[in-house]
Amino acid sequence: MTLIEFGAWTYALAWLFILGTPVLVPIGVGAWAYMGSSSTNRVRFAVCAGAVALVSAVTLGWCMTLHDPVLRFKVTVGAFGVAALATSVLLGMAAVFCWIRGSGLTRATVLATLAAFTCAVGFCNGVILVWGSEL
């Protein structure tokens, strides 16, 4: 890989991370909820966030059957936003759990997972921006 290719990949990943930074807030909310709650409330919070993520995922699958492109876009954006929010909260709770109980390798894996998730959401946000500009 040449230096120019490496620079292009670095630039692309930086933009993906920038577009995905809105998910850092719910990740922090999940971490705060894990640290500030009793074990019973943690389970309730995680089950509720998981249920919201599951319903949003089913909605995302269902909206692909819609024939109106504008309605499909609106439903997709809403369902993706809710799914990303709920998944971010769950990821924040899992990150704190692994950070407290894990070793150095576990902590490095948690940070890499958070960065990869942020870039993935950034990619989806970029696709939504391009899709919305074409409608």
Q: State the average pLDDT over residues 30-41.
A: 82
* Single pTM value for the model: 0.79
What is the pLDDT at residue 3? Answer: 57
Q: What percent of the chain has pLDDT over 70?
A: 93
- pLDDT bin (cut points 50, 70, 90) of residue 2 is low
Q: Between residues 100 and 17, which one has the greater pLDDT? A: 100
What is the pLDDT at residue 135? Answer: 77
- pLDDT bin (cut points 50, 70, 90) of residue 5 is low
Q: What percent of the chain has pLDDT over 90?
A: 1
Q: Which two tokens stand for residue 52?
A: 């919201």
